[in-house]
C-alpha cells in the first residue's frame, strides 16, 4: 500500500485532527482519525455483530428458522422461549431475523461489490482513455441515469420475473452508472497531473501508470462511495423482496418477512415491526460508518 499512498493528492493532512509536528503516512493518519471517532467505532462494532450473527447463524440461532408450528402462531415478544415472538407460521422470529441477515446482507453487499468492479473499471478506462471512448461510455451511463433508481431496479427485476439472482442483477445495474461516474471523475482529475506525465516520460507503460499511479487515487473515492451505497442497496433489496421481486418464501429475508407479517399487524404489532427495525439498524450503521470513513479518508465528492 505504501507506493499508493505516496502519490495521493488527498493526503492533505487535516490540521485539526493531526498536529503539524507529526508526520504520518496517509493510511496511518486515516487509522488515527478513525480511532478517535467514537461514533464510527460504535457503529462499526454493531455492523460486525450483525455480520458475525449472519455468518454463524446455525450456531447462535436458538430455534430452527424454518420449523413452523400451528399452535405457536403469531405469539408476542417473550412468549415462552421465543425471545422475539413467532411469525404467522409459528416460526421463531429471533432465529429468522438472524438467518434473514444472511440474505439481506448479501443482497446489499454483492451488487455494490460487482458494480464497484464493473463501474470502477469502466470509469477508469473511460477517464484515462478520454476522447471518444470516454464519451461513448459516459453517454451510455447517462441513459441509465435518466431512470429513478428505485424504478429501474423494480422494472428490471420485475421484467425478469423476480427471484434473488435477478434482484441482485437489477441492483447491480442500478449502481454501475454512479460508480462509473465517481471513478471517471477521479481518473480525469489525476490524468492531467504532472507526475503522470513524468511517469510516461520515464517509459512506464499505460498499464503500469494506471496500476501504480491512477488506481491509488481512484480507490479512495470508489471505496467511500461504495460504502455509502451499501445502505441504499440494503434498503432497495428489502424493498424488492417486500414487493415480491426478491427472494421467495420460505427463505428468511427481512424485506419478505416485513411483507408477509404486514397482514398480522393488528395481532402482534411489535413483532411485525421487527424486520423493519433490523433493516433500519443495518442501513443506518452502514450510513454512519461510511460517513466516518469519508471524513477519515478526507474524500470529497
Partner 1 sequence: MIFYILRRILYAIPIAFGVSIVCFSLVYIAPGDPLQTVMPPDATAETIEIVKHAYGFDKPIPMQYLIWLGHLLTGDFGMSISTRRPVILEVTDALANTALLAVFAVPISFITGYAMGVIAGCFPGRWLDRLVTGTAVIGVSLPNYWLGIVLVVFFAVEYALLPATGMGPSGSTNFHILEWSSARYLVLPVFTLAMIPIGILARTTRAAVAEVRNQDFVQTLRAKGLSEGAVIRHVLKNSLPQVMAVMGLQFGYLLGGSILVETVFTWPGSGFLLSKAIINRDVPVLQGTILTLSLIFVATNLVVDLLQSLVDPRIRRA
Instruction: Please report, as ranges, the residues that interact with partner 1 according to CB under 8 A.
Output: 139-140, 142-144, 146-148, 150-151, 154-156, 158-161, 231, 235, 238-239, 242-245, 255, 258, 262, 265-266, 269, 272-273, 275-277, 279-280, 283-284, 287-288, 291
Separation CA 172–CA 112 (nearest Å): 6
As measured in angstroms, the least distance from the Cβ of 57 to partner 1 is: 22
By C-beta, is 152 or 214 nearer to partner 1? 152
As measured in angstroms, the least distance from the Cβ of 200 to partner 1 is: 27
Nearest to 127 by CA among 184, 180, 179: 184
Residue 132: how many other CB atoms lie within 10 Å: 8
Contact call for residues 247 and 164 (beta carbons, < 8 A): yes
Question: Cα-flanking dihedrals φ and ψ of residue 47, to 5°?
Answer: -60, -45
By C-beta, is 223 or 254 nearer to partner 1? 254
By C-beta, is 215 or 274 nearer to partner 1? 274
By C-beta, is 25 or 163 nearer to partner 1? 163
Separation CA 159–CA 166 (nearest Å): 9
Alpha helices (runs of H) in 14-130, residue ranges in sequence order: 26-35, 38-55, 57-60, 93-129
Helix (H, G, I), strand (E, B) or coil at 67: coil
Separation CA 18–CA 228 (nearest Å): 25
As measured in angstroms, the least distance from the Cβ of 126 to partner 1 is: 17
As measured in angstroms, the least distance from the Cβ of 261 to partner 1 is: 9
As measured in angstroms, the least distance from the Cβ of 198 to partner 1 is: 28
Residue 87: how many other CB atoms lie within 10 Å: 28
| R_g of the chain, CA atoms, integer Å | 23
As measured in angstroms, the least distance from the Cβ of 223 to partner 1 is: 19
CB proximity list for 6: less than 8 A, separation 6 or greater: none
Cell of 235: 434498503
As measured in angstroms, the least distance from the Cβ of 201 to partner 1 is: 30
By C-beta, is 52 or 277 nearer to partner 1? 277
Q: Is the dihedral of CA 248, 280, 49, 28 positive or negative?
A: positive
Question: Cα-flanking dihedrals φ and ψ of residue 223, to 5°?
Answer: -65, -45
Cell of 180: 462509473
As measured in angstroms, the least distance from the Cβ of 262 to partner 1 is: 6
Amino acid at each position: 500500500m505504501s507506493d499508493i499512498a505516496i502519490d495521493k493528492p488527498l493526503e492533505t493532512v487535516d490540521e485539526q485532527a493531526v498536529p503539524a509536528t507529526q508526520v504520518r503516512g496517509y493510511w496511518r493518519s486515516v487509522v488515527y482519525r478513525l480511532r478517535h471517532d467514537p461514533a464510527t467505532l460504535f457503529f462499526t462494532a454493531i455492523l460486525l455483530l450483525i455480520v458475525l450473527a449472519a455468518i454463524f447463524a446455525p450456531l447462535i440461532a436458538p430455534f430452527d428458522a424454518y420449523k413452523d408450528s400451528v399452535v405457536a402462531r403469531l405469539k408476542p415478544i417473550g412468549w415462552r422461549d421465543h425471545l422475539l415472538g413467532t411469525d404467522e407460521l409459528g416460526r421463531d422470529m429471533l432465529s429468522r431475523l438472524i438467518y434473514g441477515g444472511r440474505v439481506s446482507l448479501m443482497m446489499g453487499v454483492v451488487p455494490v461489490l460487482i458494480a464497484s468492479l464493473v463501474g470502477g473499471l469502466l470509469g477508469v478506462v473511460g477517464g484515462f482513455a478520454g476522447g471518444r471512448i470516454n464519451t461513448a461510455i459516459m453517454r451510455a451511463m447517462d441513459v441509465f441515469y435518466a431512470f429513478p433508481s428505485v424504478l429501474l431496479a423494480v422494472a428490471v427485476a420485475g421484467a425478469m420475473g423476480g427471484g434473488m439472482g435477478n434482484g441482485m442483477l437489477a441492483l447491480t445495474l442500478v449502481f454501475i452508472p454512479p460508480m462509473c461516474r465517481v471513478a471517471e471523475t477521479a481518473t480525469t482529475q489525476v490524468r492531467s497531473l504532472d507526475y503522470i506525465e513524468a511517469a510516461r516520460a520515464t517509459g512506464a507503460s499505460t498499464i503500469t501508470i494506471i496500476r501504480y499511479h491512477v488506481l491509488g487515487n481512484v480507490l479512495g473515492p470508489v471505496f467511500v462511495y461504495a460504502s455509502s451505497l451499501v445502505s441504499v442497496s440494503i434498503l432497495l433489496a428489502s424493498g424488492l423482496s417486500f414487493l415480491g421481486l426478491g427472494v421467495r418464501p420460505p427463505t428468511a429475508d427481512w424485506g419478505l418477512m416485513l411483507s408477509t407479517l404486514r397482514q398480522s399487524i393488528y395481532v402482534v404489532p411489535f413483532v411485525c415491526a421487527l424486520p423493519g427495525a433490523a433493516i433500519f439498524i443495518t442501513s443506518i450503521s452502514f450510513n454512519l460508518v461510511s460517513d466516518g470513513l469519508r471524513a477519515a479518508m478526507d474524500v470529497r465528492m
